[in-house]
Each structure stands twice: as structure tokens, then as C-alpha cells.
Structure 1
């Protein structure tokens, strides 16, 4: 037992240090001097449902973009609030091409994939850039993507996502936990084995979406409009998936204010790993699960007096120290340095969190946007 715990902990320490070094080696995205006038045309696709409280803020952000070659399609998925009417009214005076797309209230396994697919069908842009109706973006968001895609020729670009201002410890914990996902996803792209990305800040070439058959093959799953598509594109273009490491490209969204909302989102994310075609993301998910089980087992072993206290401290240290170095680096990049002191608390809670959602994901179904999805 002792050898097993030490081996898993050692492997995790090496893995986390590899991520840390890889993150430091990702070249930062740079905007060229002056405005960009001849870059690719971008279609921003925003699938929404019941975002009346948020959508105007995002549209205002898009009105302040420094890059002019873009259009926006807001695909409204049968909102029961004023979302659609707000977008339609905004379109009358918007300083950019804004196209509301009302969707019928038909039953589908993945409403978001349907919204994106129908939006792409009418899109005029060379690049598709997706985000969510409750997100906020900076004035150089589009310019950073246009410049990066022109410079690299990337077929899919994943961007950084974080949360808006934290007001509670629960908010800060979400920020730290989410930064680990963003950082890990970025590093695996840099290593040429992409595993994770986020549809709240995801860009891909429109023609490539058609080449890989869009969401075909996983359109029966409620989640995965981001990661499964990325995996399909990475198979066709092994070097074509990249991460945009630029503060200008950061998308911000609100933290979950209720446990129920947090639970349903994390259960939705955790449920995806069983559907991966590639063995690597599934293997990584199992590895991370084991690495978070090990400290719990070590502490229990010490409490029950069948594991040496020094071994327990070593197991815990091999997890905590490399993790702290990595998470701190990601949080500083995401302009969340104020959340760094919360890292130790997150590290204490996270193993229990992983165990809980790893087991919860085995059950089918969750609620999202007022609907029960499977």
C-alpha cells in the first residue's frame, strides 16, 4: 500500500511540474501595433436561453471591439424571459451586424449543439467564435483572435476563461478550481495532446467544422460541444489546435451562486469522460481521480495507524507543492492574484470534491437552463 501511494503521488508531482514548465513555455499571444484591418471575418455565435439579465452587457462589450470585421448571431433557444426581444431591439441600432436567430422549442438531446449548428449554417465569417450569453469580453477580444489565427494558421483556438469579481469564499474556490482546468487544457494543447477546452471562449475555422462533420457522432450527448469537437479537429489537424495565451483574450463569466447550479454544471462536465473516443482523456480523468483519492487514503491510513506519519506527509506534500506552483502561475495570468491565498483551502477540499463528482457522474441526467438533460 505504501509503495502504491508513493508511486501515484510521485507521478502526480512530476505531471504537475511538467504542466507548470509547459505553461511557462507557451508563447504569449501578441497584438500587432496599430489596428488590424485585413484579418479574417469572424462570426461570433452566442447560444442563449433565459439570459435577459446578462445579454445586453455582452452586446455592449461587442460594440466596443477594436476589430471591425465581424458579425454576431444570437441563437435564442426558446427563452421564457425577454432575451429574444432585447436582442431584436438591440439589433436595430447595433454598430455591428447582429442577427437574432429564434429556435423552435423542439425536443433535442443537445440544445446548445443545435443552436451552434444552425448558427454556423447562416454564418458569413471565416472563423466561428463561440461564447455564452452571461460572459463579458474586453475590447481587444476579437483582435487577439484575428491576429493569432493569422500568425499561426491554427484550425482551432482555445481561449482563457475565468470568473468575474469574487465576493465570497465559495466564489474564490470556484475561481481556483476553474483555473486548474484552463491551465491543464492549455498545457496539453501545447504538448500536442489536447484534452480540455471551454465553449465560452472557443474559435475554429468554419470550413474545418464542416470537414470533420460538425457535432456528428456525439450530438446525442447534452454536453461536449467544445471538447469532442476539439478532439475531432485535432485528429485531422494534429498541430492545428492551440491555446491563445493572451490577457486580451480572457472571457469572464459569473460564478455559481447556488450549490444546485454548481452541482449540475460539474456533473455535466464529469459525465463526458465516458464518451471520449480517444483513450488519453479518459486515462487522464482516471489518473486525476486516483491522484486525489491517494491523499484521502493516506490520511485515513495514518488515522487508523497502518500508515507512517512521515509517509503521509510526503504523499500530501508531493501533491500540494507542485499544485500550488502551477495554480499560482495560472491565477496570475488570469489576473486573479487575489485568489492565490485560497489555493491551500481548495487543495484541502478538492480531493473530496473529485471523489463526489466522480461518483455522481455515474448517474444519468442533470438539470440545465430549466431542462432535464441526459
Structure 2
């Protein structure tokens, strides 16, 4: 009787998990059917802010990407957040060598990314502020496409998808699969008008709206959250209809894949550590549900302790889990022209529950250092 209850528990959790995946896939497909009315706005002043700290090795690829952006009325401000690796000097030398009048490098007067962005906004001459990170590569027509939703005067903020770069290893493909799950969740909450997360690596907002909200006032003491906290303030002030989320590949921003598990875990734990600082229940709900399903998967080997059909039920549990994950998440990756082999999904399906639990524990008990701080 005890093992029967155990089997019922695991398969009950699995059915709910798979139903959620299917639901996320349905909303993802629905978002693909939405289009934004295209209208060229070639005289619309735009400022792109790129804060950076100790990322000299990433700067050549970043600057090459920024140099190829095709939008004419664009100001680019790179804000040095007290780099110690010569990155600021490298950017200054690059700008002087190119003689670009629309590129500007400034030293942040405040410590931290939020302070750097606030300074960039003050110095900007654009009506629209776009932001990205120093380890990113942008499509050449990214600015034009990010501007389209602002044709609607009600739209105050726009966010888009982020995906790690392509590298042929199980670890790097694991990161891409994990990114696909983040995109599915992000899109779902936007679709149900309860946006809870986005990425500052691919984001834009009206300068006037940012100033009206007082920038990061109220959460400036938090090291991270320059994206999600600002999103929360925007939704409270202007409503969910004022926020637009893209899933289109034409605005996909590529970010650097983490080089090691320790760096990847530290990054995700830092992100998750602020979940209880948000005022919406959806943040807490998403974190708890994800951790709960991951824990169920980690405990599923208990089925092997039973006799008769129990070992077969264990096998069925993982076959169903892997099969639905592959169908749903591979569809997201294919939409961005990413080909992840089935073996990578097997690797991810088994590793991800452990990864989630370790990240959750680290977010509660870990001490984070990021970029030397």
C-alpha cells in the first residue's frame, strides 16, 4: 500500500508538470502568431546603454556588434562600472580610433549596475532607452525592431528574448535548453498579463517613464534586479498593457555561455536570491513550483525500491518526462535556428532537477561575488 501511494505521488506530480509544459507550449505558439504593426521611425532619437565591469575580453565582440547596428538616430553610451582590467581604456581607445561621434564612454559615479544605468539615462539624448550587456551580440536591425511596439503611445516598456551562444558541448547545450525554459515561463506570464521577469540584456523603455518612476529608487540597494524590479514598477504604474514582450528571432540577443558549472550556478543563484523581494505572488509561486517538481524527480529512484511494476514505473516516469521536455523545448530552440541533439536533452533532463535544487539552496545560504564584487 505504501509503494502504491508513492507511485501515485510521483505520477501525480509528473502529470501536473507535463500539463504545465504543454500549457507553456500552447502560449508560446500563440505568441508566435502575434505581429506588431511595422512602421519605420528613422528620425526617432534612441540611446543604447551598455554598462560594463571587468569584461575586457568581451568588449571586442560587443563593439563589433554595436558598430554594425543600422539605426541612424542612435546614441551609444558605454558606462564603466569601475573596471579593474583595463576595459575602460580599451573602449576609449577604440572610440578615438573610429572617430564615432555617436559613441560615448563615461565613468560611473555610483557603484553597481543600477547606478551606471541611471547615469547613462541622465546623459542620454534619446526618447527611447535601450539596454544590453557587455557580453552580448545584437542583430544588425535590432534597434528598428525593438522600436516597433513604441508606435503605440500606451507602450512604455519592451523586452525581448535572450539565448546563450552556440557551442558544441553538453554543458553549453544544457544552458541553451535551460534558457528555453526561462523564455517559456517569461512568455507565459506576459501572455496572462502577469509579467514577472525579463532581461536587461534585451530591454527598452521610454526615458520619460523611467524618470517618472524615479529610476531604481526603492530597490537600488539590491545588487541585481535592474530588469525585474524595473518591470514590476512599470506594471504597477502603467498597467500590464504598457509592457510588450517579443519572442521573435529578429530581436534575439545572444549572450556569452558560462564557462563552468560554478559560474553558471552562481549566476542563477544570484538571480533567484531576489525572488522574495518582489511584491507579486507569481514570483514566489514560480520558484516554489519549479523547486517542488525538481525535488520529486530527484526522489523518483525510490520507485526502484519496490517490486513488481515499480521499476517499470520509474522508467516510464523518465521516458514521459524526457519526451515532453524534448518536444516542447526543442520547438523553442528550433524557432531560433538552434539544433540541440537529443542526447543533450537526456543530459539536461537528468541534470536539471539537481541544478534547480542546488541553485535554490545557494540562493538562501550562499554568498555571491560577481565580477569582482
Normalised by the size of structure 2, how large is the TM-score? 0.90
RMSD: 2.3
What's the counterpart of residue 163 of structure 2?
162
> Distance between the aligned counterparts of 1:180 and 1:29, measured in 2?
22
What's the counterpart of residue 143 of structure 2?
142
What's the counterpart of residue 20 of structure 1?
25
- Say which SS state the counterpart of residue 274 (structure 2) adopts: helix
What's the counterpart of residue 320 of structure 1?
322
What's the counterpart of residue 56 of structure 1?
60
- Return the offset for 1:268: 0.5
- Pairing 1:367–2:372 present: no
- Pairing 1:68–2:72 present: yes
Normalised by the size of structure 1, how large is the TM-score? 0.89
For the Cα contact (< 8 Å) 1:293–1:351, is it kept in 2?
yes
What's the counterpart of residue 78 of structure 1?
82
- Return the offset for 1:359: 1.0
For the Cα contact (< 8 Å) 1:268–1:361, is it kept in 2?
yes
- Return the offset for 1:303: 2.5
- Return the offset for 1:265: 0.8
For the Cα contact (< 8 Å) 1:75–1:100, is it kept in 2?
yes
- Pairing 1:332–2:337 present: no
2:16 aligned residue (4, 11, 29): 11
C-alpha offsets along residues 170-229 of structure 1, whole Å, 9 cap, x if unaligned?
111111112211232122212211122111111122222223332222222111111121
What's the counterpart of residue 180 of structure 1?
181
> Distance between the aligned counterparts of 2:186 and 2:101, measured in 1?
32
> Distance between the aligned counterparts of 1:282 and 1:308, measured in 2?
34
Write out aligned runs for 1:270-285 (5 A).
270-285=272-287
What's the counterpart of residue 357 of structure 1?
359
For the Cα contact (< 8 Å) 1:144–1:246, is it kept in 2?
no
Structure 1 residues 324 and 13: CA distance shift in structure 2, 3 A: same
What's the counterpart of residue 3 of structure 2?
none
Greater Cα offset, 280-289 or 188-197: 188-197
For the Cα contact (< 8 Å) 2:51–2:117, is it kept in 1?
yes
> Distance between the aligned counterparts of 2:342 and 2:220, measured in 1?
38
What's the counterpart of residue 93 of structure 2?
89
C-alpha offsets along residues 67-100 of structure 1, whole Å, 9 cap, x if unaligned?
1121111110111122112222233335451121
Structure 1 residues 318 and 169: CA distance shift in structure 2, 3 A: closer
- Say which SS state the counterpart of residue 369 (structure 2) adopts: strand
> Distance between the aligned counterparts of 1:338 and 1:328, measured in 2?
7
Structure 2: give runs of 5+ residues left out of the alignment. 1-5
Write out aligned runs for 1:232-311 (5 A).
232-236=233-237, 237-299=239-301, 301-305=302-306, 308-309=310-311, 311=313
- Say which SS state the counterpart of residue 215 (structure 2) adopts: coil
> Distance between the aligned counterparts of 1:279 and 1:363, measured in 2?
22
Greater Cα offset, 134-143 or 357-366: 357-366
Runs of 4+ that moved beyond 4 A? 28-33
Greater Cα offset, 275-284 or 206-215: 206-215
- Say which SS state the counterpart of residue 197 (structure 1) adopts: coil
Structure 1: give runs of 5+ residues left out of the alignment. none
Structure 1 residues 240 and 8: CA distance shift in structure 2, 3 A: farther
- Return the offset for 1:314: 5.1
